Amino acid sequence: MGGIPVSLGPEVTRKMDVQSEVGPVCDIILAAKNVCLLTGAGISAESGIPTFRGEEGLWKTYRAEQLATFQAFIQDPKLVWEWYDWRRGIIASKEPNAGHKVLAEWEELFPHFTLITQNIDGLHQRAGSKNVIELHGNIWKHRCIDETTITENHDVPLKEIPPRCDKCGALLRPHVVWFGESLDGSILHKSFQLSSGCDVMFSIGTSAVVQPAASLPLSAAEAGAKVIEINPDPTPLTGSADFSFRAKSGEFLPILDKELKRQTKQKKG
């Protein structure tokens, strides 16, 4: 299956003939009974939250192995928690963008709609999405490394670093999935089931390199779904996507949404 790369930089987006660029993909989306989405850090980029990879990415400053593994945490919990505390501060000061808001509205637009995110920032929920599958956890939750109990914590900054469990005094860790750790089995199973059962699968703002999340759109494609990618840069998924829009999600999703709603109205009227 060959992807159709459609370049839509900000200039082009303003000038493009919306119906000819987005029209064909709208027909496919509106015919779908079951729509599934996978989002990544790129969807929050326009809110001002750094992505992981790329020029401005978090890994440019910190090496993944230094901070996003359990070994790194046990070696230096203070360093790891300082990094998370810094990121919590950034996230708390930012707002969901136009892309998050469109996806929140799509929950009502499609009868069967699944939003799967790799993001831990909670911005989809803050934009109004009610059913969000979080593959890599949530930065606003802590987990006791001994008792595995999960607690919500929204303190910015944290009161103590590293934080400790109120009940047993053991170290608390961020309730996120680090490299080398397994994702929650039931969440992963459900995500693959939903991806391989959908008619249309979006991959939005993800570099599509981190497994097993990156396999979700591929499993959808293998099961016959149309795959639509939205990303300013090409990714390893691009060749397998039916449509690959080179665009920022916060700019492109509102355009797509407007056209979907226009076509829906036209069909009804």
| Cβ 179 vs Cβ 13: under 8 Å | no
Tell which one of 57, 128, 197, 254 touches ligand BJW (CB under 6 A). 57
Tell which one of 6, 22, 37, 52 touches ligand BJW (CB under 6 A). 52
- 192-221: which residues touch ligand BJW (CB under 6 A)? 205-207, 209-212
Nearest Cα neighbor of 138 from 157, 155, 118 is 118
Q: Which of 100, 112, 124, 136 is catalytic?
A: 136
Cα end-to-end span (Å), the chain: 35
Backbone torsion region of residue 215, taken as left when φ is above 0, otherwise alpha when ψ lies between -120 and 50, otherwise beta: alpha
Tell which one of 41, 49, 103, 216 touches ligand BJW (CB under 6 A). 41
Q: Can you tell me the distance from the alpha carbon of 88 to that of 80, in angstroms, rounded to the nearest whole number?
A: 12
**179 interacts with ligand BJW by CB under 6 A:** yes
- Mark the segment that binds ligand BJW (CB under 6 A) among 43-51, 122-130, 236-244, 257-265: 43-51
Tokens of 86: 């810094």
Indicate the residue among 30 and 176 with the shorter CB distance to ligand BJW.
176
Nearest residue to ligand BJW, scored by beta-carbon proximity:
42
Note if 124 is an active site residue. Answer: no
> How many CB atoms lie under 10 A from the CB of residue 1?
10
Binding mask 105-134 for ligand BJW (x = CB under 6 A): -------------x-x--------------
For the CB of residue 84, give the shortest distance to ligand BJW in the complex, in Å.
7
Helices (H), the chain: 10-15, 18-31, 58-61, 64-67, 70-75, 77-92, 98-109, 123-127, 185-196, 215-222, 249-268
- 157-176: which residues touch ligand BJW (CB under 6 A)? 176
The structure tokens 């779904």 sit at 225
Binding mask 231-260 for ligand BJW (x = CB under 6 A): xxx-x------------xxx----------
What DSSP letter does each residue of 127-155 carry, written as one string? HT---EEESSEEEEEEEETTT--EEE---
Give the interface with ligand BJW as residue ranges (CB under 6 A).
40-43, 45-46, 51-54, 57, 68, 118, 120, 136, 176-182, 205-207, 209-212, 230-233, 235, 248-250
Active-site residue set: 136
